[in-house]
Chain A
Amino acid sequence: MNVLEIRNLTKTFGDFIAVDNMNLSVREGEIFGFLGANGAGKSTTINMISSLLRITKGEVRLLGKDIVKENKFAKMNIGIVPQDLAIYEEMTAYENVSFFAGLYGLRGSLLKERTEEALEFVGLGDKHKALPKSFSGGMKRRLNIACAIAHRPKLIIMDEPTVGIDPQSRNYILNSVKKLNQMGCSVIYTSHYMEEVEEICTRIAIVDHGKIIAEGTKEQLKSIITDTKETWIGVKNAERLDLDALKGIPGVNAVRMEEQSVKIISRGEINNLNWVIQQLIRDQVEISSVEEQAPNLETVFLTLTGRNLRD
C-alpha cells in the first residue's frame, strides 16, 4: 500500500515552475530518499506535502486521502523535521516537545507519556529539563526530531536532519531513522550526504528542475549508468587544470573538481585515459594518483543532473 501518492503535482511562483507535473509514490514501511541539488524543487514538494504551500495543480494523497480535502487528517499523520532547527531556545526540551505534541490534540497523561517517550527515543530523556541553548548542535538536531515524532505520525518527512553535526550524532540520528522505520513509520529522507542515503534508503528519487528524473532502489539507479566509468585522478596543482578541455575529450560525460582530485565520468566503452593524461600534462598539472572506481549514487546523480548533490 502506498502511504503517499503524488500525481501531476505542479507548483508555480509567477512564471517560475518550481515543481513540474511530478508523479511519485512512497510505499508503507519505506525510507524514501528524495535527492536533488539546491533549487531542484524538493523543498517545494515537501512543503506542499506538509500543507505549508498551496498546490497549484495536481493531487497529493496520504493513506489514500486527498491532503487538501482531508487536511486535518493529513496533518495529524505527518511529522516534519525541518532542515532548520525549529525549536524554542528559551523553553526546556520537555516543554518544546510537549507544546508541539499538544497541537496534535494530545492532552494530560497521554501527552506526558508521549513527550517522555519521544525524548527517550532521541536520547534526551535525561535532558528534559535543560534549555536547548545549552545543547550541542547534535542534541538540538535530536530535539528537532523529537518534536516531530511525539504524536506518532505515519509519515515522517526529514529534510536534511544531519546538517552540521558531528559523526557520532549523525550515526545516532541515522540509527533513529532506521528504528522509526522498524516501528512502522514511513520516512521521506532528504540529504546532501549521498552515503547516508545509500545507507538507509530503500528507494530513491532524483529530482531536477522540478521533475523526477530517476526513481528506484539504489541498485536500479546504479544500473542506469552501467555503461559509465568513474576515474579519480589525484593532482597537486589543480588551479592549472583546464576543465573545459577535459570535458571536450571524447567519451567524457562529466568532470568534477573535488579538493585535490578530479573526478571524470566517461562512457564505459571508450578508453580515453591516455587523452585525459595528455591533457593534464599539457596543462602542466602534476599527477599523484589515478584510480578507477565502480559507479555509486553520486556518479548516478552527477551523470543524470550534471551537478553535484551539494551544488
Chain B
Amino acid sequence: MNVLNIALFEMKRDLRDRRTLLFMLAFPIVLILILGTALTNAFHTGIEVGEMKLLVNNTARSEQLQSYWNGFAHTIGKEGVELTPAASGIDGKKAVADNQFTAYAEIDDNGIRFYGSSRDTIASNIIQGMLTSFADKYNLAAAAVRNNPEAAHAIIAGSTSAGSFVQESSLDPDRKPSSIDYYAIAESTMIAFYACMSASWLIRGEVKRKTAIRLAAAPVGKMEIFAGKVIASTIINFLCILAVVLFSKYAFNANWGDHLGSVFLLLFTEVLLAVSFGLGIAFLFKDDAVNAVMMIFVQVASMIGGAYFPVDEASGFFGAIANISPLRWANEALMNLIYNNDLYAVFPVIGLNTAIAAAFLAFVAIAMRKREAF
C-alpha cells in the first residue's frame, strides 16, 4: 500500500512539473518534424532518369519482324524513349561514345546487337531491358507462328500494350522508411532514454529537498520508497513516449508497423533501463558529477545510436562504440520489426534492456540498504 501511495504521489508531482513534461513531449515531436522535414531528400530512394535516346539501324527484311518492331517502337516511344533511325554511314557506336545517344541498336534478321552508354548507365540499362524483352517476346511469337498462328497474334498484340516492356519490381516497395518514419522511431527511443535524467533525481532530489529526512523517519522501508519511485518514474516516462508515438503516427503519419504491442513493449523496457541507469549513476557518482556524466552519456548514446542522423553499418572503433548505445539496439530492432516484419528482432533487445535494468536496480537497492538514511 505504501508503495502505491508513494508511486501515486510521485506521479502527481511529475505531472505538476510542467517544464519537464513539456520537454519530454515537445522535444521529440519538434525534432521529428524538423529533422524529418529537413532531411527528406536523404531518405528519398527514387532516381531521376535522363533522356533516353535510341539510335536504331534496322536492316531486317522479315515482314513479321518489321511489323512487330514498329509496334514496339511506337510503344516505347510513348514510354519516353526517343528513337532515331541511323542515317547511312553513321557510326552508331561513336555517336553513343560522343554522348549523342543513350544507346545504339543494330537489328537484322539474325537478331539485335546493343551498345549502351557508359555515361548514363541507368537509362542505357532500361533501354537494354526493353530490347531484351522485345527479343524474348519476338522469339516466342516466332516459335508460336509455326504451331499456332492465333496465339502468335495474341502475343504480339499483348506485347505492344503500353508499359509491358518495363515493369517496376521491388521486394517490398512500400516498406522503406521516409525521413518522418525514421525520426519518429529515432526520437522516440531517444526521449525514452532521456528518462535517466529525471530518474537520477528520484532519491537525490529527496536529499536535496530535505524531504528524505521525513521519509527516513516514517515507518516505511527504504525498498518501499525505492519501488514506489521506480514504478512512478517508469510509468510517467512511458506515458510520455506513448503520447509521442501516437502523435507521430496520427499527426505525421509515421509508420509504426503492424505490431504496436511489441513496439510499446520494447519502448517500455527501454524506459525501465533508462530509469535504472539514471538511479545507478546517481549512486555511483558524486552529486555534481552526476549531471555531467548523464548528459555526456545520453548525448553520445543519442548521436551514435542514430537519433540525429542514420547510422549505417559501422566498423572499427566507431562500430564498437556505436554498439554499446541502447538507442542503436532499440532503433535496429524496431526497424527490423516494422520494415522486415521480424517479430523476433525485438525480443533480444527487450531481454537485454530488462537484464541491464535489473542489474542496476539491484545495485541501487543494495547501495541504499547500506547507506545510513539516504
A52 contacts B373, CB within 8 Å?
A: yes
A105 contacts B214, CB within 8 Å?
A: no
Smallest beta-carbon distance A45→chain B, Å:
14
Which residues of the partner chain B approach A68 to less than 8 Å between Cβ atoms?
A: none
Q: Can you name the residue of chain A whose Cβ is closest to the Cβ of B224? A: A103
- In the bound assembly, the distance between CA atoms of A105 and B5 in angstroms comes to 10
Cβ of B146 under 8 Å from chain A: no
Q: Can you name the residue of chain A whose Cβ is closest to the Cβ of B5? A: A102
A99 contacts B9, CB within 8 Å?
A: yes
A99 contacts B210, CB within 8 Å?
A: no
What are the 3 tightest A-B residue pairs by CB atom distance, in nearest-first order? A103-B218, A75-B219, A84-B210
At the interface, is chain B mostly helix, strand, loop or mixed? helix
Q: Can you name the residue of chain B whose Cβ is closest to the Cβ of A77? A: B219
Query: B204-234 CB contact bits vs A (8 Å, 1 = yes)?
Result: 0000011101111111100000000000000
- In the bound assembly, the distance between CA atoms of A51 and B220 in angstroms comes to 12
Q: Can you name the residue of chain A whose Cβ is closest to the Cβ of B225? A: A103
Which residues of the partner chain B approach A172 to less than 8 Å between Cβ atoms?
A: none
B217 contacts A88, CB within 8 Å?
A: no
CB contact under 8 A between A51 and B214, given known A91-B12, A103-B5 = no
Among B2, B6, B211, the residue within 8 A (CB) of A86 is B211
Q: Can you name the residue of chain A whose Cβ is closest to the Cβ of B18? A: A90
Cβ of B44 under 8 Å from chain A: no
Q: Taking each of B211, B216, B218, which has the highest tally of chain A beta carbons within 10 Å of its own beta carbon?
A: B218
- In the bound assembly, the distance between CA atoms of A187 and B1 in angstroms comes to 30
Which residues of the partner chain A approach B211 to less than 8 Å between Cβ atoms?
A: 86-88
Cβ of B61 under 8 Å from chain A: no
B219 contacts A72, CB within 8 Å?
A: yes
A100 contacts B13, CB within 8 Å?
A: no
Cβ of B17 under 8 Å from chain A: yes
- In the bound assembly, the distance between CA atoms of A87 and B218 in angstroms comes to 14
- In the bound assembly, the distance between CA atoms of A51 and B12 in angstroms comes to 28
Smallest beta-carbon distance B111→chain A, Å:
84
Which residues of A71-129 are within 8 A (CB) of B?
Answer: 71-72, 75-76, 78, 80, 82, 84-88, 90-91, 95, 99-100, 102-105, 107
Which residues of the partner chain A approach B286 to less than 8 Å between Cβ atoms?
A: none
Which residues of the partner chain B approach A18 to less than 8 Å between Cβ atoms?
A: none
- In the bound assembly, the distance between CA atoms of A76 and B13 in angstroms comes to 25
Smallest beta-carbon distance B214→chain A, Å:
5
Q: Can you name the residue of chain B whose Cβ is closest to the Cβ of A89? A: B209
Smallest beta-carbon distance B271→chain A, Å:
22
B372 contacts A54, CB within 8 Å?
A: yes
Supply 16 A–B pairs (Cβ within 8 Å), ascending by A.
A50-B217, A51-B217, A52-B372, A53-B373, A80-B217, A84-B210, A84-B213, A86-B209, A87-B211, A90-B17, A99-B9, A103-B5, A103-B215, A103-B220, A104-B219, A147-B214
Query: B359-374 CB contact bits vs A (8 Å, 1 = yes)?
Result: 0000000000000110
Smallest beta-carbon distance B13→chain A, Å:
6
Which residues of the partner chain B approach A103 to less than 8 Å between Cβ atoms?
A: 2, 5-6, 215, 218-220
B218 contacts A75, CB within 8 Å?
A: yes
Which residues of the partner chain B approach A91 to less than 8 Å between Cβ atoms?
A: 9, 12-13, 16
Smallest beta-carbon distance B19→chain A, Å:
11
CB contact under 8 A between A99 and B5, given known A53-B373, A84-B210, A90-B13 = yes
Smallest beta-carbon distance A152→chain B, Å:
14
Among A52, A72, A76, the residue within 8 A (CB) of B213 is A52
Query: Could you list 10 further interchain pairs (A-B, Cβ under 8 angstroms) beyond the known A75-B218, A95-B9, A102-B5?
Result: A50-B217, A54-B372, A72-B219, A86-B214, A90-B16, A103-B5, A103-B6, A103-B218, A104-B219, A147-B214
- In the bound assembly, the distance between CA atoms of A80 and B215 in angstroms comes to 10
- In the bound assembly, the distance between CA atoms of A136 and B217 in angstroms comes to 26
Which residues of B338-374 are within 8 A (CB) of A?
Answer: 372-373
Which residues of the partner chain B approach A100 to less than 8 Å between Cβ atoms?
A: 214, 218
Smallest beta-carbon distance B369→chain A, Å:
12
Q: Can you name the residue of chain A whose Cβ is closest to the Cβ of B211? A: A86
Which residues of the partner chain B approach A104 to less than 8 Å between Cβ atoms?
A: 218-219
- In the bound assembly, the distance between CA atoms of A132 and B6 in angstroms comes to 20
- In the bound assembly, the distance between CA atoms of A53 and B213 in angstroms comes to 10
Which residues of the partner chain B approach A50 to less than 8 Å between Cβ atoms?
A: 213, 216-217
B372 contacts A82, CB within 8 Å?
A: no
Q: Can you name the residue of chain A whose Cβ is closest to the Cβ of B6? A: A103
